[in-house]
C-alpha cells in the first residue's frame, strides 16, 4: 500500500512540474546570424588569395624567362665553342706527294699502293670521278716504279710493255693485271726479249700519263708511262 502511495506522489509531482511556466524552461533565443560578418570574412579570404595567386603567376613567368635565357646562353656558348673550334682547326694539308720532285733527274718514287688508290674513281664510260689529289698531281710528272714486265705484243724485240704489280707472263702463268695495278709502257728504245726468262722484274723511269680506257662499261686501263727507260 505504501508503495502505491509513493508512486502516486511521484506522478503528482511530475504533473505539477509539467504545468509550471513554459517560458521559464525555454532557452533564450539567439541573435540573428551574422551574415554580414560571414560575407566580410569571405571577401577578406579572397583578397588574401588574390595576391598569392598573382605572386605564383609572377614567379612562374620569372622561372620561364630564366629558363629561356639559360637556353639562349647555352646555345650562344655552343655556337661560340664551335666557332672557336673551327678557328683552331688547321686547314686541310696539301696532297702528300711521294719522294722526289717529279723531274726526269729526280722523279717521284711511287708505289703500286699509291696507284691502286684510283680504284673506284673511274666510271664505266672512262671518265674520272673524284680522283685522289695526289694522283691528279702525279699526272704529267716523271716517276720511278718497280714491278714485273712483259712484252705487249708477241715480238722478239718491242718498245711496248705491260708493267705490273704481280707476276704474269702475258698468257698463262701468274696473275693477270687490273687497270689499277698495271701500266702500258712506251720505251725510248726497243727491248730484246730473245732468250729472256718469261718472268721479268725491273725498275723503270718515265713520264706518267692518266689516260682512262673503257669499253662496254668496263674499265680496261688507266695508267700510261711514256719515254720510259729500264734502269735495272
- pLDDT > 70 fraction of the chain, expressed in percent and rounded: 59
Q: Tell me what the pLDDT averaged over the chain comes to.
A: 77
- pLDDT category at 6 given cuts 50, 70, 90 is low
Question: Which tens digits make up the pLDDT trace of 173-222?
Answer: 888 999 999 999 999 999 998 877 777 899 999 999 999 999 999 999 99
| 5-26 mean pLDDT | 56
What cell does 173 get?
702463268
State how far Cα 164 lies from the chain centre.
Answer: 39
Give pLDDT tens digits for 7-17.
566 666 555 55
Query: In three state form, how does the secondary structure of the chain look?
Result: CHHHHHHHHHHHHHHHHHCCCHHHHCCCCCCCCCHHHHHHHHHHHHHHHHHHHHHHHHHHHHHHHHHHHHHHHHHHHHHHHHHHHHHHCCCCCCCCCCCCCCCCCCCEECCHHHHHHHCCCECCCCCECCCCHHHHHHCCCEEEEEEEEEECCCCCEEEEEEEECCCECCCCCECCCCCCCEEEEEEEEEEECCCCCCCEEEEEEEEEEEEEEEECCEEEEEEEEEEEEECC
- Tens of pLDDT, residue by residue over 216-230, are 999 999 999 999 999
* pTM assigned to the model: 0.59
Architecture of domain 108-230: Beta Barrel (2.40)
Q: Measured between alpha carbons, how far is residue 129 from residues 123, 212, 218 in Å?
A: 7, 11, 15
Q: CB atoms < 10 A from the CB of 134, how many?
A: 16
Residues 232 and 202 sit within 8 Å (Cβ to Cβ):
yes
How many Å from the N-terminal Cα to the C-terminal Cα in the chain? 164
Q: How confident is the model at residue 171 (pLDDT cuts 50, 70, 90)?
A: confident
Q: What is the pLDDT of residues 119-139, one digit of tens each?
A: 999 999 999 999 999 999 999
pLDDT at 153 (0 to 100): 87
Higher per-residue pLDDT: 165 or 90: 165
Residues 45-93 pLDDT 10s = 666 555 554 555 556 555 655 555 655 555 455 445 444 444 444 444 4
Alpha-carbon distance of 160 to 216, in angstroms, equals 24
- pLDDT number for residue 147: 96
Give the cell for residue 171: 698468257
Amino acid at each position: 500500500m505504501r508503495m502505491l502511495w509513493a508512486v502516486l506522489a511521484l506522478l503528482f509531482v511530475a504533473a505539477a512540474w509539467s504545468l509550471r511556466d513554459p517560458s521559464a524552461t525555454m532557452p533564450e533565443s539567439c541573435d540573428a546570424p551574422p551574415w554580414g560578418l560571414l560575407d566580410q570574412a569571405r571577401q577578406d579570404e579572397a583578397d588574401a588569395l588574390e595576391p598569392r595567386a598573382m605572386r605564383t603567376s609572377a614567379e612562374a613567368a620569372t622561372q620561364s624567362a630564366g629558363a629561356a635565357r639559360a637556353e639562349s646562353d647555352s646555345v650562344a656558348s655552343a655556337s661560340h665553342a664551335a666557332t672557336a673550334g673551327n678557328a683552331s682547326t688547321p686547314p686541310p694539308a696539301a696532297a702528300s706527294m711521294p719522294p722526289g720532285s717529279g723531274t726526269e733527274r729526280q722523279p717521284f718514287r711511287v708505289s703500286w699502293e699509291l696507284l691502286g688508290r684510283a680504284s673506284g674513281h673511274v666510271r664505266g664510260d672512262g671518265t674520272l670521278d673524284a680522283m685522289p689529289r695526289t694522283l691528279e698531281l702525279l699526272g704529267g710528272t716523271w716517276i720511278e716504279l718497280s714491278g714485273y714486265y712483259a712484252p705487249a705484243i708477241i715480238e722478239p724485240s718491242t718498245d711496248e710493255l705491260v708493267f705490273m704489280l704481280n707476276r704474269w707472263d702475258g698468257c698463262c702463268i701468274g696473275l693477270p693485271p687490273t687497270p689499277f695495278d698495271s701500266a702500258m709502257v712506251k720505251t725510248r728504245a726497243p727491248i730484246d726479249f730473245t732468250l729472256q726468262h718469261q718472268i721479268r722484274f725491273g725498275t723503270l723511269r718515265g713520264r706518267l700519263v692518266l689516260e682512262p680506257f673503257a669499253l662496254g662499261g668496263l674499265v680496261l686501263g688507266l695508267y700510261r708511262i711514256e719515254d720510259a727507260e729500264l734502269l735495272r
